[in-house]
């Protein structure tokens, strides 16, 4: 049983195209995330949703749009792809936000296998 | 500002040697959590450990051990009797009060047979 799954695993596309990456978790978690990992392995948070509500929206080009149809799914749509979008995109989920400690992230994030995006 | 520093960009050791990966953090929060993740060559990110700021006990799990010291703001990770399968990039991360994890840059560990 895959806990956090992403599709596709590999994505090769031309500049200017629009593409989507799908993420699903079967852990019953409330919170989901999208990260971008560049070629130097640096991990950057892009978005986070808690119970379908956007809670983190980092400085990301508005060509990137997340969508959460339900709390088990968080998809990432990218418009007008650029060369610099080439990276590995990770989806993650966590049980939820620790409301008792006012916003401190307690819950462990579990990651999907990643989607390797190459823009030509 | 919160920050995680993994000063060792790459470490290379011979199999069976012990190796320690350093993690130093900065935070103004009194309550926080620290994490270690492993990213093997296959690319997935694997959770290893979570530690809260109130628990300074060292943790041991098989060949892995973690040393949390608030006095030096460090959360170091030691692999005893390293094996080739331990080769990976290891990330240290710190929770912040904005629902995010602050990630270190990672340490690439190479275990040579």
Neighbour-count burial of A13, counting CB atoms closer than 10 A to its CB (0-12 exposed, 13-18 middle, 19+ buried): middle
Both structure tokens of B19: 């190796």
pLDDT at residue A99 greater than cutoff 90: no
For B48, the closest chain A residue by CA position comes to A108
Both structure tokens of A11: 């994505």
Residue-wise pLDDT for B75-105, tens only, equals 999 999 999 999 999 999 998 777 788 999 9
pLDDT, position A1: 64
pLDDT, position A97: 66
pLDDT at residue A9 greater than cutoff 90: yes
Both structure tokens of B80: 């005893």
Alpha helix locations (H) across chain B?
A: none
Backbone angles phi, psi at B85, to 5 degrees: -70, -10
Interfacial B residues in 57-86 facing A (CB < 8 Å): none
**CA-based nearest residue to A5, from A75, A77, A69:** A75
Q: Any chain A CB within 8 A of the CB of B31?
A: yes
pLDDT, position A103: 56
Interfacial A residues in 46-105 facing B (CB < 8 Å): 48, 50, 55-56, 88, 90, 92, 97, 101-105
Residue-wise pLDDT for A14-69, tens only, equals 999 999 999 999 999 989 999 999 999 999 999 998 888 888 888 889 999 999 99
User: How far apart, in whole angstroms, are the C-alpha atoms of residue A94 and residue B65?
Assistant: 24
Residues of A in contact with B45 (CB under 8 A): 90, 92, 111, 114
Answer yes or no: do B96 and A105 touch at CB < 8 A: yes
Closest in B46, B50, B99 to A55, CB measured:
B99
User: How far apart, in whole angstroms, are the C-alpha atoms of residue A12 and residue B64?
Assistant: 38
Per the DSSP assignment, residues forming a β-bridge with A90 are: A35
CA A23 from centroid of its chain's CA atoms: 7
User: How far apart, in whole angstroms, are the C-alpha atoms of residue B76 and residue B96?
Assistant: 19
Residues of B in contact with A43 (CB under 8 A): 91, 103, 106
* CB count in 10 Å sphere of residue B57: 9
The shortest C-alpha distance from A114 to chain B (Å) reads 7
Helix, strand and coil content of chain A, in percent to the nearest 5, comes to 5, 50, 40
Helix, strand, or coil here: B84? helix
Answer yes or no: do A113 and B44 touch at CB < 8 A: yes
**CA-based nearest residue to B90, from B106, B101, B79:** B106
On whether the CB atoms of residues B46 and B37 are closer than 8 A, the answer is yes
State in Å, rounded, how far the first CA of chain A is from the last one.
34
């Amino acid at each position: 049983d895959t806990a956090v799954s992403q599709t596709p695993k590999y994505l090769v596309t031309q500049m200017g195209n629009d593409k989507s990456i799908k993420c699903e978790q079967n852990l019953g978690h409330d919170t989901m995330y999208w990260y971008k990992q560049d070629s130097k392995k640096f991990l950057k948070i892009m978005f986070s949703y808690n119970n379908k509500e956007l809670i983190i929206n980092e400085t990301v080009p508005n060509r990137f749009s997340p969508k959460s149809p339900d709390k088990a799914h968080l998809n990432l749509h990218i418009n007008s792809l650029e060369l610099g979008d080439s990276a590995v995109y990770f989806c993650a989920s966590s049980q939820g936000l620790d409301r008792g400690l006012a916003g401190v992230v307690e819950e462990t994030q579990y990651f999907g296998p990643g989607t390797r995006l190459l823009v030509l | 500002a919160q920050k995680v520093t993994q000063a060792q960009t790459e470490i290379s050791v011979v199999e069976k040697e012990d190796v320690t990966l350093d993690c130093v953090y900065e935070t103004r929060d009194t309550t926080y959590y620290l994490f270690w993740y492993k990213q093997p060559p296959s690319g997935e990110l694997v959770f290893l450990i979570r530690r809260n700021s109130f628990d300074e006990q060292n943790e041991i799990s098989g060949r892995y051990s973690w040393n949390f010291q608030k006095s030096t703001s460090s959360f170091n990770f030691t692999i005893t009797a390293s094996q080739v399968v331990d080769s990976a990039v290891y990330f240290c991360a710190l929770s912040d009060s904005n629902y995010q994890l602050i990630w270190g840059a990672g340490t690439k560990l190479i275990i040579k047979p």
